[in-house]
Structure 1
Amino acid sequence: MSQVTPEVLWAQRSSKTDAEKNFVYLTISVPDVPKENLKLDLKPTSLAFQGHSETLKRTYHLDINFYDEIDVENSNIHHTARNVELKLRKKELKEEYWPRLLKDAAKVQFVKTDFDKWVDEDEQNEVADDDLSQFGGMGGMPGGGMGGMGGMGGMGGDFGGIDFSKLGGMGGGPGSDDEEDEDEDDDMPALEGEEDAKGDAKVDAADAPKADK
């Protein structure tokens, strides 16, 4: 069974005065890895991740050290069928961007710029704040709990202080209620009045005289 390093996309914003505008976007590409097969350990200067995909027969492993410290307690995570997305709050309020994501200056192949989210440093104030709307709309789970996360596959209960109550809104994937609702709409039976109208139309057509040839 193969173990691979997943692709990591990143982008960032910075602010010297507003902590909520001073963060790093991180997307770990791990398709078909269910939440119960995830292990994530987020610390102020590092992130360790492991995930297993039964369908792809593949285990993903990632261990990185950040360029600078992050505020773990004010960082968020969002899991989808294709990836794990994180919004990491930078610890130090600073106008300048981080020069890179990793502490080590050596270039690595698996870390790439997320051009869908990247904004140049001098243009970031002109961009809307909701360019990652799923983080803004991730409400708490019913009762404040995590539902069936089950400790996320043996993470030992140490989530590094990350706010997993904001993991709501993970639906919408294959087999979700949304798809079931759409299927039901497609198969809606005709209304009673419509059926009668169709029946009358068939009778009228049968009784109509055929034109002489």
Structure 2
Amino acid sequence: MAPVTPEVLWAQRSNSVDEAKNVIFLTLNTPDVAKPEIKLTATSLSFKGASSNGKDYEIELEFFDEIDVDNSTHSHSGRGVYFVLRKKEAKEEYWPRLLKDKRKYHFLKTDFDRWVDEDEQQEAAADDDFGGMGGMGGMPGMPGMGGMGGMGGMPGMDGLDLSALSGMGGMGGAGGLDFSALQSEMGGMGMPPTGPSAMGLPDDSDDSDDEQPPELVADETPKA
């Protein structure tokens, strides 16, 4: 079987002062390759690997400019290989392209999860991880969901007892829902009261005698 050229995704950053932010992000989509053969030089990258489904991946890339091999890193997962390649020359300008050859290659694509325009890279620097693709977890560009802390960021939600909602049955007619329990929980959340009194209207639930109709009195006038 002839070797298969893997899909290659790339993005970049440039910085003339901080060399750690003068890098190429490179991803080779080679799923299920257990033991890839990788050779990285200052001007090129070669990759070979056999997948569990019988595909043999192979590719050779000649870079537009030199990279610093000693300060470049890569990691491998079941979905592919991820590189952070340090550009050897630190400068503000982007590389005009990834490869030395100007031809268009069908397998080479922009990594839109990592790409930012050259004049916007300073704003994006805070979201970048230049320490070896940390946090990717085999899924480039997928930030973690940490920090929600059980909805701690939502005011008043800490005291909500979700068991009070257990009888809602998917909201199907609200069968079994204890509204008194729910209203009690809502009060603990700092939510405003509901009902006529909350709007300044008379409360119809007051059954005092003052609001009963007057009793009928028999007409005792003598008849002529």
The normalised TM-score by structure 1 is 0.61
The gaps in structure 2 that reach 5 residues or longer are: 140-224
Q: 1:136 to 1:108 in 2, by over 3 A?
A: closer
CA positional deviation for 1:75: 0.2
Per-residue displacement from partner, 1:126-184 (whole Å, max 9, x unpaired)?
Answer: 0144434772659xxxxxxxxxxxxxxxxxxxxxxxxxxxxxx9799xxxxxxxxxxxx
State yes or no: 1:82 paired with 2:79: yes
CA positional deviation for 1:67: 0.2
Give the secondary structure class of the aligned counterpart of 1:15: coil
Per-residue displacement from partner, 1:40-88 (whole Å, max 9, x unpaired)?
Answer: 000000001001112x210000101000000000000011110100000
**Ranges of 4+ aligned residues in structure 1 off by more than 6 Å:** 169-172
State yes or no: 1:9 paired with 2:6: no
1:197 is matched with which residue?
A: none
Distance across 2 between alignment mates of 1:20 and 1:109: 30
State yes or no: 1:99 paired with 2:83: no
1:40 is matched with which residue?
A: 38
Q: How does 1:110-189 map to 2 (within 5 A)?
A: 110-132=107-129, 135=132, 137=134
Distance across 1 between alignment mates of 2:119 and 2:49: 37
Distance across 2 between alignment mates of 1:77 and 1:30: 14
1:29 is matched with which residue?
A: 29
Q: CA RMSD in A?
A: 2.2
The gaps in structure 1 that reach 5 residues or longer are: 139-168, 173-213
Query: Which residue identity lines up with residue 44 of structure 1 in the other structure?
Result: A
Query: Which residue identity lines up with residue 13 of structure 1 in the other structure?
Result: R
More strand by share: 1
State yes or no: 1:60 paired with 2:50: no
Equivalent pair of 1:79/1:170 in contact (CA under 8 Å): no
Give the secondary structure class of the aligned counterpart of 2:120: helix
Q: 1:65 to 1:171 in 2, by over 3 A?
A: closer
Structure with more relative contact order (C-alpha pairs < 8 Å, separation 6 or more):
1
Equivalent pair of 1:9/1:27 in contact (CA under 8 Å): yes
Equivalent pair of 2:27/2:83 in contact (CA under 8 Å): yes
Distance across 1 between alignment mates of 2:21 and 2:137: 24
**Larger Rg: 1 or 2?**
2
